[in-house]
Amino acid sequence: MRAILSVSDKTGLVDFARGLVDLGVEIFSTGGTKGILQKAGLPIQSVSDLTGFPEILEGRVKTLHPAVHGGILARRDLPSHMEELAQKQIKTIDMVVVNLYPFIQTVSKPGVTLEEALENIDIGGPTLIRAAAKNFPHVLVVVDPDDYGPILEKLKSGQLGMEERRRLAQKAFQHVALYDTAISQYLRQDGEGFAAELTIALKKRFSLRYGENPHQEAAFYEEVGNKEQGIGSATQLWGKELSFNNILDADAAWAVVTDFTEPTVAIIKHTNPCGLACHSELSEAYQRALSGDPISAFGGIVAANRPVNLAMAQEVIKTFYEIIIAPGYEPDALEVLKSKKDLRILDMGPVKTGPKGVSRDFRHVRGGFLIQTQDTIVEDAKSWRTVTRREPTAGELEDLTFAWRAVKHVKSNAIVLAKEATLLGMGAGQPSRVGSVEIALKKAGQRARGSVLASDAMFPFPDGVEIAAKEGVTAIIQPGGSVRDAEVIEMANKYNLAMLFTGVRHFRH
């Protein structure tokens, strides 16, 4: 049996190669892999011994040779193939152990140049892998160090059958596909818009106990090359493993608080903020967020965009939450939070700031995907238009600005009531906008008086405005654009409301 070993990831390499040598496998290798194996005292031959040709172009061409690929691709069950190998004095290669140049790791580094990226695009490796995987009934292809041990055991026992070979080939093709996708993404760099062809590179992080319901299987995959600060990059400091629903809600929670620059706390239930507030004192921001809907907060997720301090932690533990997520924790705050054994504690690290690239939002539908850019438009309050007779006061304008940022994180038809940088009531996901208004007013109760209202999309009828006005709402912000805008504005004027049109919609289904 003859094998080619040429790997970028050297994990477990020496022990695996030693096991192959003990089984009588003849090993050929290149570059750094050969050096490590020789240093370990193993009998290794150079691939140049196979080809009779030296490496050229500073190692760019090593394995691209008929003596290598003929030995891999020849079908052992076809006499014509074997006769041709014999005529050309080529011997078969029965195992290919290859993983690829660290392209993904290289382009993830800040300041990497195009030249550095190009030099880390592997050519010979994918060709070896694809050749071996194509001929998997006769050639073993190994791309994952985690497979080394099981493969050795099966080779020793003679139980490495066709199903295992097929599994390894599938894994090999996927390995190359992910690699090629990462290269394509890098070269495109989101500057091409929506390409005619698109692949998504996903790498499994961990299995989940189940999906949305116990009878559904689930796992968490991270998108290779995506530099967004997401739940996949969080460090879990405490609590049991995350569930499918936990990850969905935690992602929504982090998206909300990082959309605000002021110290902010959000409480999330079923991906919607049922509580949200900004305040210079984080513990006060938390208490104000909780006041938005203390009943719905039970069993939800708390998020902050500042490190959690002791004062906030002491308030948080008074209510049952599934998760708390923040960019760090003061040591005494962490100890207090750990007193809740069922509370999962996630540390996101410092909030990433600065310009963000164009990110895609993928929605699966049966038979395909909908893809859009994320709702990250930069808005200028100076472009908002007052369409009523009364201008908003300075205080109302501050509240409207907060409410408008909050409402984009609520599911459509979204209505938010707010005052003093605090969410007082929220209506979401209703078939009619007036239904969401009624729910938001009910949640706010008496606090609706003197509050402002934000609507993620236009009011199609004036009824929602009238209901809000009768309950004491004093100002409204909405996109505008309804065929009945004139009626809506007339209703606002009737109750002396101030109303702003933004010209921007924030649907979130």
The question of whether 270 is a catalytic residue gets the answer yes
Residue 62 in tokens: 């090593």
- Tokens 């493969």 locate to 151
Rounded distance between C-alpha atoms, residue 426 and residue 424, angstroms = 7
Q: Which of 91, 134, 138, 154 is catalytic?
A: 134
Rounded distance between C-alpha atoms, residue 337 and residue 63, angstroms = 56
E-state strands within 137-255:
140-142, 202-208, 218-223, 235-238
Rounded distance between C-alpha atoms, residue 370 and residue 360, angstroms = 10
Number of Cβ within 10 Å of residue 187's Cβ equals: 14
Report phi then psi at 344, rounded to 5: -80, 130
Helices 124-134 and 162-188 cross at an angle (nearest 10°) of: 150
The question of whether 509 is a catalytic residue gets the answer no
Work out whether the CA dihedral 444, 448, 452, 453 comes out positive or negative: positive
Q: Which of 138, 171, 270, 338 is catalytic?
A: 270
Rounded distance between C-alpha atoms, residue 358 and residue 334, angstroms = 35
Among 279, 21, 33, smallest CA distance to 145 is for 33
Number of Cβ within 10 Å of residue 360's Cβ equals: 15
Residue 55 in tokens: 């490496």
Residues catalogued as catalytic: 134, 270
